[in-house]
Amino acid sequence: MTKDVKRIVYEEVKTPVLNDGQALIQVKSVGICNSDIAPYMGRRLDEMPLPFVMGHEFGGIIEKIKGTSADLKIGDKVAVYPQLNCGTCYYCENNAERMCNNQTMYGSPKKSGGLAQKVAVPLKNLIKMPDSFDIRYAGIIEPATVALRAVKDFYEMNVIVVGVGAIGAMMGMILKHNKCRFIAIDLNDLALRKALENGADIAVNVKDANKIAKIDSFLKEDLVDAVVLAYLDKDNWEFALKIVKKEGTIIEMAETAKFEVDFYPVLFKGLTIKGTACYNYNEFKEAAKLVEKKIINPEKIITRFFNFDQVKEAFEFKANNFALKVIIIN
């Protein structure tokens, strides 16, 4: 285990020098993701070696602009689209920049993130928010986009979400807005309680031996159209295969350890299996609008705010307590 595990360091650094087409952002809101907690706690260090500046869920206020922009000016509140895509590979040129062959992301070992007082960001990566927007909420727009990407095509359907942490909870809000029935599944009873508070039609613990019977009783003659696996293991995979209807859809959006997969039900039930990774700029913009309008309600997603000088406390709180979303403000 590296000596940097569970260690937060503040450093004085020079103000970033802007290149043409960039803005200097005073960071005002940074969300802590589970992918930040993992290396902090000593996990996934082969993928994310420490130390690096975390923070891919962030936004703030424009302090300076180098170049011209028709839409942005100094003082604007902005959310940061954190993916840096090349714009020239096959995927970027075919409206799938989320799959860019040369992608980097703020808050990774390759690109310092939003846990800083000021960050230089390309103008094309900024989403302008209205003056009335509470900039403290900017840190939930990125995970809201992950949620949107997973369920945006589901309308008036019966959808199970397995794993109702912050992203699962926001999926539920989108599903309810799309007039779906939202069935929440999780191991944590606190998460299930929050899901019910936020609009879930029914919430069932994943360890409940009668969970399929309870879901069937709730749906009566209806069937499960789709299952979203926001937490994936062998048991959850087999549960999804069993409960989803013929010609239904399973969305896989969680990293997992390897396990053997039985594809017989996929073949003979005619299922659609989709993975979802990252998101396009337009999806980020759409999610920002959902947060702005409180269709995704930040007040129901953010568990606690911490100040910038409390980053260590924020990470410890997130690592050791049930929390949907923890936001660091500056």
Query: CB neighbours of 196 closer than 8 A, spacing ≥ 6?
Result: 184, 203
Beta-bridge partners for 79: 59, 127
Task: Report pLDDT for 178.
Answer: 98
Of 229, 249, 275, the residue at which a domain comes to its end is 275
Question: Is 200 among the domain residues?
Answer: yes
Question: Is 10 among the domain residues?
Answer: no
Task: Report pLDDT for 44.
Answer: 87
> Which CA distances in Å does 220 have to 46, 160, 213, 217?
47, 15, 10, 5
Q: Are 244 and 44 in contact (CB under 8 A)?
A: no
Task: Report pLDDT for 35.
Answer: 92
* Omega before residue 39 within 30° of 0, cis: no
240 and 312 part of one domain: no
Q: How far apart are CA 299 and CA 175, in angstroms?
A: 18
Q: How far apart are CA 60 and CA 210, in angstroms?
A: 47
Tally of domains within the chain: 2
Both tokens of 181, joined, read 């029935």
62 and 167 part of one domain: no
Question: Is 224 among the domain residues?
Answer: yes
Question: Is 309 among the domain residues?
Answer: yes
Query: What does each of the 330 residues of the chain score in pLDDT, given as a tens digit?
Result: 457 889 999 999 999 999 999 999 999 999 999 999 999 999 988 889 899 999 999 999 999 999 988 899 999 999 999 999 999 999 999 999 999 999 999 999 999 999 999 999 999 999 999 999 999 999 999 999 999 999 999 999 999 999 999 999 999 999 999 999 999 999 999 999 999 999 999 999 999 999 999 999 999 999 999 999 999 889 999 999 999 999 999 999 987 778 888 888 999 999 999 999 889 999 999 999 999 999 999 999 999 999 999 999 999 999 999 999 999 999
Both tokens of 282, joined, read 């337009």
pLDDT, one tens digit per residue, over 24-54 is 999 999 999 999 999 999 998 888 989 999 9
Query: CB neighbours of 139 closer than 8 A, spacing ≥ 6?
Result: 29, 30, 31, 57, 58, 59, 325, 327, 328
Both tokens of 128, joined, read 């302008």
Strand, helix or coil for residue 169: helix
Task: Report pLDDT for 257.
Answer: 72
Domain containing residue 26: 22-144+279-329
CATH number at residue 208: 3.40.50.720
